[in-house]
Every structure is written in structure tokens, then in C-alpha cells.
Structure 1
Amino acid sequence: MRTQRVLVVDDEAKIRMLVRAYLEADGFAVTEAADGTGGLRAALDEKPDLVILDVMLPGLDGFEVMRRLRKTSDVPVILLTARDEELDRVVGFTTGGDDYVTKPFSARELALRVRAILRRSTTSAGAADPDDAILRFDGLMIDPTRRTVVVEDERVVELSALDFDILHALAEAPGHVFTRRQLLERVWGHDFFGDERVVDVHIRTLRRELGDDAAQPRLIGTVRNVGYRLVASAVPA
């Protein structure tokens, strides 16, 4: 089995050394970068399985590294920050972060988060079954095998792996209301660590990409104080 590789981008050498020690003890191969420019270059050149990315970096900050990285890569990213502001979490998730850890943190917990995210990513990547039926709804088509989405019978929508998995989870049970926790368990896994509001950020991204209106949804509806459901009508095969 191939050893999974993690890139740690942080300007504090002690943090890089501590995280490396825990990850290598768990069997991961670890590479390091000390600034945003080096981290972005390493992420693009080395193509790690996961990136641990500090937000407050010299040169390019972590958010800018994320924005540039997401133009060509959907590698899972855990963001590290010394700040615990809700706006920072929202920005982090909006730019494509998979998890958000506030300093100071437990290196053991961080290693567990790495393992959980990689297990979820591996499961998602291998979940496509050639026998899976294409899911068709009014104005929406989802192909689980090719992991493609088409809206209004003509526009192919490019979704991140997480956004596709959330949409697919909703589409497998149209009309069923999923709580945030249920979506987290289906997409991230039972051992998800972090803020449940990450689901809200991904739903907003999905609606934007699909051209859906939260006020008058055609595809994804909100059930206040409960969760989300697919409201589009299924089209008979």
C-alpha cells in the first residue's frame, strides 16, 4: 500500500517538527515548507495527499495559498490559525478548506483529523460504481460514476469533491431532511472533528454553482432549525 504524503506549511519550525513527529509515527510521509510561496510550490509540484496550512504565513498568507491552489487541485487542506474568529472560519471554508484548527492545538488530535479526512477522501474516490444509476431530477442530472453534474440539461458544473459528495448524499434520498450532523457523518465520516457550520458554507457554494436561489430554491431547500433537503422532482428513468 502506498504511503500517504502530508505537506506541513508553517513558519514556526517547532510546530512543523512536532506535527511531523506525530504524523510519521502514524505512518505518513511528511514534507515541510516555511512560507506561503514555498508551500504553494510544494503542493503543486509534489501533489501530497493532504496539506496542513497555517493561515498567518510570511509572503502569501494561507487564504491566498488556498485560493491559488484550488484553481488546479482539490487536495484536502486543514487550516491552522492562532485566531478563532467566525469570519476566519467562513473565509477558510469558502476558499476550499476541509477543516480548521485553532492554535494552540493537540498534535495527537491533528493527526486524528488528518487520518479521518484521508479516510473519507479515499472512500469517496473509490466509491464510484459502474453500476450506479444516473440520478435525474427536474433541471439536474448527477452521474455518480463520472462524478459529473449537469443543470438545465446543458451546463456541466465543476464541483469540488466535498461539494459533489454533499449533493450526492442529498440526491440519494430526495425530499428527506438531513441535519448538519447527518451530512457530516455521510460525507466526512463518523469521526469528524470541527464546526458543523462547515455544512452551511458548502451548501452556499453548491447553490451558487448550481444557480439555485436560497429564497426560492428549485434544487436545495432549507428546513429552518433542522437542515437541508433536495427539493427537485425526480424524473422517471
Structure 2
Amino acid sequence: MSAGVSTQNRVQTFILLVSTDASLAQSLRTLLGQYHYGLTLCSDSSAAATEIHRAVPTVILVDGNGPTLSQIRAKPMARQIPIVAIFPSGTDCDAVCVPELEAGVDQILCRPVGVREIVAHLCAIVRREHFKATPRRHFTVANLSLDLDQHEVMLDDRVIPLTVKEFKILHELIQQPNRVFSRDELLNLVWGEEVALGEHNLDVHIHSLRRKIESHPGRPKLIVTVRGVGYKLKTD
């Protein structure tokens, strides 16, 4: 078939299977459904490329080690997606498997391999990808910590009351310590691009924030000014 056959319309996590084996697809679809994962079947790399542009899969599973695998690896969008390949029995590991792994394939399974084992490997990769994609909710720099779930900032185990804007400013800075944020960038991140505010407004909030978290606000050690550019949260 030249188009994808999909069961992932109502699920966010789905596997893109590139194979001409419809029975394998059905078996995988049944087992993956138990985990509420979907499956899209494409018969060749061209159909797979179209499907990837339509909806990005969590994992790409390629049945075989022929040109289809190398063609999929060459697709720019596929380089950001884990690829698992199923190779025929008797495949020379050193001659075939190792070069494919070095070229970007994440995992290789050799036949005979059961459907349950394939699904177990896929689920392990899905868990890993979901963990990587989970946004951080707690940040710590030196003796300062910010908790998004509690909407709380602590300094030396003391809760520091901040205004909404002060909290947002600190959140942006603490996510990327030592990175310099321009004043315009912080204004856009905290207030939004549609709100027209002068840089003085940001400076006032930074001054207030320093008074609450710095030991010597006049000589700040945490939120430092980068002259002519903006601010950064310093860790050293």
C-alpha cells in the first residue's frame, strides 16, 4: 500500500511501522493497543516520509535492512525520531548491524523475534522519550529554588513571596542559568509581545526581585546585569 493505515487518530503516542507484512502490523497493533499506543503502517520510505510530515511518530519501526532503512535515515525529520530495525536471521552483526547503529539506528532486533519482545522494546523507548519530553517543574541554583507546581520560591529553606511578574522573570532566568537574556527578550517572555512596555518597567521588577533574593541587592551575586545587553542568573 502506498498510504499509511493508521490507528493513532485518538492517541498521541504512535509507532510508524514501515513493512509489507500486514500480519505483523495487525499483531503489533493489537498488543500496542493494550498500552493505548497507536500504529501506522506504511509499505515504503516514500509513504513513511509523507506520514512523518503529517504526524510525527514517537518511534519508527523498520522491518528489514534494505534500502528502505537507509532512505528513512536520510530524511531530515526522521533524524530526531528513534528508529528500531528488525533484521533477518543470520545477519552479520559486525558487517551490517554495527554500521547501522553508528549511522543513527537506535536499536536492532534480529529474527526470530516475537511480537511481545518487539513491543517490549518499543515501550521502553516510548517511556524514555516521554521522560525526555516531560518539562521540568523544579529548578535549583545554589541556595535558591523555584517550584512551578507549588508556585513557590525558596531561599535557604525560607519561602520568598514574589509577585506574579517577579516569579515569571525568575522562572525564565533559572531555566537557563548563566545565559544572558536581553531586556527585550525578557519583556516578551514575561509580558508578551503584544504588550508595549519600556525597559524601565523590567528594571523596576528586577530591582524588586533582587531585594528579595540577594544578600546585598546593591551588589547582586545571583541576578547580574550584563551591561548594554540585559540580565542573567549567575551560578559561579
Q: TM-score, normalised by structure 2?
A: 0.50
**Higher relative contact order, chain-length normalized (CA < 8 Å, sep 6+):** 1
**Structure ID, larger Rg:** 2
